Amino acid sequence: MKPLQASSGDLNADRRADFAEMLLASGEPAQAAELLLGALELAPRWAAGWFRLGEMQEAAGLPDQAAQAWAMALHLEPADRLGAALKLELIGKASAAAAPPSAFVETLFDHYADSFEDSLVKKLGYGLPDFLERAIGKARHGRFRLALDLGCGTGLMGERLRPFVDRLEGYDISAGMLKKAKAKGIYDRLAKADLQHFTHTGDRADLVVAADVFIYLGALDRIIGAVANILAEDGIFAFSLETLAGGGDFALLPSRRYAHSEAYARRLLGANGFAVLSLQSLVIRHDRGDPVQGLAIVAGFAAAAVEVITPAAA
């Protein structure tokens, strides 16, 4: 699938780009890249074209040429809606960043808003909202006065929270996602927010949830600190991570998502006064048929709480 492939503005360049896509689909990435390079001679300031050229060159086993194409895309569009900097990092041509470009995350989810739920739930086997709902219920019984759904998306998590929450607020970087969430009529407030810089004013929340969200943040020290500042003393913080295999705190994956280690999560939670109430391993979703391993973590300020560790879900 062509990612965010906008027109070059030149009809002949667009035709060549379409033929290049056909060659790529038929298993000829080198020839596809050569044809797309010809299209870029007609439209040299087409950032999306340079980005796609890099992907074709990468598929053809030409990482140095791919790096040049992605560097050009980044030069033409410094906001980096296409995530060229992440591509450069993945092939070792750029230093590791603490977070992805916000414009990339926003554009990605605006692009997929219409098909998001169908793809995630029906095709990828996404069951995390149900899993987190059960984990929250085990950690604390009864109703919550104010819940914040961070990275609310189209409202899949919000639908599970609504029955036991008096006031539900959702925050997301994508206007397209927020539009879908608004149509469900389950939120008392929806607002556009970049979680890399999230703040909240007003009453403290007694429930903060981030379901399948931190995979697009990288470093988590700031957001976990922000949650600690807005959570009530008896509040619950529930979130998920993709599990990082091997050492380190977090790492960018080829999917351009981030995986985090359990040790890193525990260290940040402890540094912000949280105790882990439950930590459960599960398959978050499937990606190209393969299970994506993750963690569902529930934390609170009750340091004396007993931790419950559940075996990995089937």
pLDDT value, residue 3:
46
**Topology (CATH) of 116-310:** Rossmann fold (3.40.50)
pLDDT value, residue 307:
53
Q: What is the pLDDT of residues 42-86, one digit of tens each?
A: 999 999 999 999 999 999 999 999 999 999 999 999 999 999 999
Q: What is the pTM of this model?
A: 0.90
pLDDT value, residue 94:
94
Residue 158 sits at φ, ψ, to 5 deg, of -60, -35
CA distance to 48, 66, 215, 270, 281, per residue, from 258 (Å): 23, 22, 5, 21, 17
Structure tokens at 167: 């006031």
Contacts of 290 (CB under 8 A, 6+ apart): none
H helical segments located in 185-237: 221-230
Residue type at position 189: R
Segments of the chain assigned E as strands: 144-150, 165-172, 189-192, 205-210, 231-242, 250-252, 258-260, 275-287, 290-300, 308-310
pLDDT value, residue 247:
83
Q: What is the pLDDT of residues 76-112, one digit of tens each?
A: 999 999 999 999 999 999 999 999 999 999 999 999 8
CA dist 67 and 46 (Å) reads 16
- Exposed e or buried b for every residue in 123-153, given b needs 16+ CB within 10 A? ebebebbebbbebbeebbeeebebbbbbbbb
Extents of the domains making up the chain = 11-95, 116-310
- Assess whether the region 11-95 and the region 116-310 belong to the same CATH fold: no
Structure tokens at 162: 């609504």
Mean pLDDT by groups of 10 residues along the chain of 314 residues = 66 94 96 96 96 97 98 97 97 94 95 85 83 95 96 96 98 96 97 95 95 96 97 96 92 95 97 96 88 96 56 48
Crossing angle of helices 11-25/29-42, nearest 10°?
A: 170
pLDDT value, residue 1:
37
Structure tokens at 287: 């990606």
Residue identified by tokens 């036991």 is 164
Domain boundaries 11-95, corresponding CATH code: 1.25.40.10
